[in-house]
Chains A and B, each alone.
Chain A
Amino acid sequence: MSTPIAPDLDDLVTQKYRHGFVTDIDSDTLPPGLDEDVIRLISKKKGEPEFLLNWRLKAFRLWQTMKEPTWAHVTYHPIDYQAISYFSAPKSKKDGPKSLADVDPKLLETYDKLGVPLHERARLAGVAVDAVFDSVSVATTFKDRLHAAGVIFCPFSDAVRDYPALIEQYLGSVVPQGDNFYAALNSAVFTDGSFVYIPKGVRCPMELSTYFRINAANTGQFERTLIIADEGSHVSYLEGCTAPMRDENQLHAAVVELVALDNANIKYSTVQNWYPGDENGIGGIYNFVTKRGECRGRNSRISWTQVETGSAITWKYPSCVLIGEGSVGEFYSVAVANHRQQADTGTKMIHVGPNTTSTIVSKGISAGRAQNTYRGLVKVLPSAAGARNYTQCDSLLMGPDCGAHTFPYVEVKNPSAVVEHEATTSRIGEDQLFYLLQRGLSQEDAVNMIVNGFCKSVFNELPMEFAVEAQNLLAVSLEGSVG
């Protein structure tokens, strides 16, 4: 008689994706296809100024000359960009909701189901939420309180209307239109997203949060986020993402730009839980995202923390360009890939200014038949005297059919720089598992405990309530992984 702990490591997941419902709501959706007329229509629907339309058109023309990148360690069928609808918005009163009271109750219900109640009273004190549903922002909470502090936190479209000068100055200044294929596509067709401006010397009085939801079928989501932290300001920003379960793949190609001026501090946290597809790799979101921050000012700091559990394919490298003297870039990442998910994620730390420092802590967890790749670049330019980087990449494998890959690129052009890299790969130990079972823990609790221990140094970087969510999410993503 043999009672193996893991009779079949292959026998992964029975747990279903918990956010896979569809909200039945009237939508105003453009027919699939992309040409200059579609872009003009999007721009017109949003009542955009001339400069933005021209900006989009320039991006579109660049995009048409570009090719999809193929260097990532992922495989998928070619995407037909003409089969995607580039705009979908819940139908509402002509001028859109003025306040939460005007928001379609079905939408509020959707966010409640997702655990993101938009009613300010019900909402955790201290977190303001912008909810983006398909292509548009549907609600932003705590606007007044933020306004009193001088903080601007609003849907991107509102910012275009109300603060066009800031948009014109900063849009594309970190990720230019022609940066890469997906960024160019986003620049041409982006529909909404969040805009944040923290004035000089202001410490944002609460966490800011955007919750992204893809609902409509055959649409792509192309949101744009721009955060500007003026001199001496502080902000902590969180984003969460979910989508219904569908058999087709859906494209999510977002761009996030962060700008930190002198002594400013931006903390950007992501819990990404887009629908990952089923256990056979059918459906799921293609998450092709460009995120970059520029530490422009002296002693500024940008910190990326991400917990990536969803998406069929993740292609994303939140990066920091460290320009200001003494500026600091940080990247803390947990990437989980289960079933047939593919993740190719990591960061770029570009040291431009002197005495800049960067820290990279990446934890990759692979289960099922998933492939999980860390890809990172640490680049020290000749101008970056005294630059320092510390990189730690750990991979945890669960089962015999998954893979972990690490591609750390290092380019150092200044001899005074110190660059350290540590990497480990381990299998979830039968010994560890048996030890915990022998102490009376269930199989699942034991796996969660080991995995959470593995991810601890990253979870410690998350804001408290997100850390709990992240742990739960990890538990769901890996449920049944060691069966």
Chain B
Amino acid sequence: MNQIQRGDLILDIQGLVADVAGRNILKGLNLTIRAGEVHAIMGPNGAGKSTLSQILAGRPDYDIKAGSATYLGEDLLALAPEERARRGVFLGFQYPVEIPGVNNVYLLKAALNSRRRQQGLQELDAFEFMTIVREKMKLMKMDESFLKRGVNEGFSGGEKKRNEILQMTVLEPTLAILDETDSGLDIDALKVVSTGVNSLRRDDRAVVLVTHYQRLLDYIVPDYVHVLAGGKIVRSGDRTLALELEQRGYDWLIEGTNAA
């Protein structure tokens, strides 16, 4: 695989139109993400933020009506969800599911090895794997007993989110999409999660933060802020846009789209 350089195109979405259960949610969305960048996507409820995350990860039940999404030169929408994951697309779920009886560590190892196989790397043995995981768990301030528990089984909301970020730091995705990872976190957990995300920032990777709250961006400072409303990106700017949104809400932007 070619080395990704800062500024290389990672994800290019053009004119994306998508329906869910017959209802049109995305209405011609454009978004370009380059290596080394962190993008925040904000917007009112029902604007299509989660839909966008799910479509990029390959969730079924969405009808793509028009447009394209190109990931590192490949047609992302033509790939199965597991193929996208193995190529480095990671979705941090808004509501991570419980999978009873499956150890966290077992899933982590299977996930990491499937990514490594795709990269043409050797699977890790138990020792190498645990060395990596221990280091990441320390970063995420997680107790080792965590690994033996069932995936998200009986986890608090905050633990689930922390677990998502742990998985992300272990898998080291090229494109991480974090769907409202900050919702339901107290301030301490938010700091830990932010540390995890910031540790991932590198010239050859990109992060997309889907969030309702400006607060997250105090800890993870984005390069770009976009407003997704009515199924489109209606405004893009830098960090100051988020602050402005906090002051003024979204209505002034949405009215703008209606007029357009």
Name the one of A2, A429, A439 contacting B111, with C-beta atoms under 8 angstroms: A439
A99 within 8 A of B: no
Name the one of A431, A432, A437, A454 contacting B80, with C-beta atoms under 8 angstroms: A437
Q: Are the CB atoms of B91 and A438 closer together than 8 Å?
A: yes
Q: Are the CB atoms of A431 and B102 closer together than 8 Å?
A: no
Q: Are the CB atoms of A4 and B61 closer together than 8 Å?
A: yes
Name the one of B82, B101, B102 contacting A442, with C-beta atoms under 8 angstroms: B82
Of residues 79 through 96 on chain B, the ones whose CB sits less than 8 Å from some CB of chain A are 80-82, 84-86, 90-91, 93, 96
Residue of B whose beta carbon sits closest to that of A435: B97
A443 within 8 A of B: yes
Q: Are the CB atoms of B102 and A452 closer together than 8 Å?
A: yes
Q: Are the CB atoms of B62 and A435 closer together than 8 Å?
A: no
| Chain B interface, DSSP helix/strand/loop, else mixed | mixed
Known A-B contacts A449-B110, A450-B102; A439 and B97 likewise in contact (beta carbons under 8 Å): no
B175 CB to closest chain A CB (Å) equals: 12
B64 within 8 A of A: yes
Known A-B contacts A1-B77, A449-B107, A453-B100; A443 and B61 likewise in contact (beta carbons under 8 Å): no
Known A-B contacts A429-B97, A452-B102, A453-B101; A439 and B85 likewise in contact (beta carbons under 8 Å): yes
Q: Are the CB atoms of A452 and B101 closer together than 8 Å?
A: yes
Residue of B whose beta carbon sits closest to that of A426: B100
Say which one of B25-33, B52-60, B190-198 lies at the interface with A. Answer: B52-60
- The complex places the Cα of A455 from the Cα of B100 at a distance, in Å, of 10
Known A-B contacts A435-B96, A440-B85, A441-B110; A449 and B60 likewise in contact (beta carbons under 8 Å): no
Q: Are the CB atoms of A453 and B63 closer together than 8 Å?
A: no
A344 CB to closest chain B CB (Å) equals: 25
- The complex places the Cα of A457 from the Cα of B58 at a distance, in Å, of 33
Assign chain A's interface to a size class: 20 to 34
B97 / chain A contacts, CB cutoff of 8 Å: 429, 431-432, 435
- The complex places the Cα of A443 from the Cα of B80 at a distance, in Å, of 10
B59 CB to closest chain A CB (Å) equals: 6
The 0/1 profile, CB within 8 Å of B marked 1, for residues 33-52 of chain A is 00000000000000000000
The 0/1 profile, CB within 8 Å of B marked 1, for residues 202-215 of chain A is 00000000000000
Name the one of B60, B63, B99 contacting A5, with C-beta atoms under 8 angstroms: B60
Q: Are the CB atoms of A435 and B99 closer together than 8 Å?
A: yes
Q: Are the CB atoms of B110 and A5 closer together than 8 Å?
A: no
- The complex places the Cα of A434 from the Cα of B62 at a distance, in Å, of 13
Looking at B86, B91, B101, B114, the one whose CB has the most chain A CB atoms below 10 A away is B101
A161 / chain B contacts, CB cutoff of 8 Å: none
A16 within 8 A of B: no
The 0/1 profile, CB within 8 Å of B marked 1, for residues 416-444 of chain A is 00000000000001111011111111110
Known A-B contacts A438-B81, A439-B111, A457-B101; A2 and B58 likewise in contact (beta carbons under 8 Å): no
B157 within 8 A of A: no
Name the one of A3, A4, A449 contacting B102, with C-beta atoms under 8 angstroms: A449
A3 / chain B contacts, CB cutoff of 8 Å: 58, 60, 80-81
B15 within 8 A of A: no
B150 within 8 A of A: yes
B51 within 8 A of A: no
B211 / chain A contacts, CB cutoff of 8 Å: none
- The complex places the Cα of A430 from the Cα of B97 at a distance, in Å, of 10
- The complex places the Cα of A285 from the Cα of B58 at a distance, in Å, of 42
A106 within 8 A of B: no
Q: Are the CB atoms of B107 and A436 closer together than 8 Å?
A: yes
Residue of B whose beta carbon sits closest to that of A445: B110
B162 within 8 A of A: no
The 0/1 profile, CB within 8 Å of B marked 1, for residues 133-161 of chain A is 00000000000000000000000000000
B212 within 8 A of A: no
A91 within 8 A of B: no
A426 CB to closest chain B CB (Å) equals: 9
Residue of A whose beta carbon sits closest to that of B101: A453
B226 within 8 A of A: no
B167 within 8 A of A: yes
B91 / chain A contacts, CB cutoff of 8 Å: 438
A113 within 8 A of B: no
Residue of B whose beta carbon sits closest to that of A460: B101
The 0/1 profile, CB within 8 Å of A marked 1, for residues 103-125 of chain B is 00011001100110010000000
Q: Nearest 8 A-B pairs (CB), nearest first?
A: A453-B101, A456-B101, A453-B102, A440-B114, A440-B85, A439-B111, A4-B60, A437-B81
A-B contact pairs, 8 of them (CB 8 A): A2-B63, A4-B60, A5-B81, A434-B59, A435-B99, A437-B81, A437-B82, A449-B106
Write the residues of chain A forming the contact surface with B, with a CB cutoff of 8 angstroms.
1-5, 429-432, 434-443, 445-446, 449-450, 452-457
6 extra interchain contacts, Cβ-Cβ under 8 A, other than A5-B60, A435-B93, A439-B171? Answer: A3-B81, A4-B61, A437-B80, A438-B81, A438-B90, A439-B85
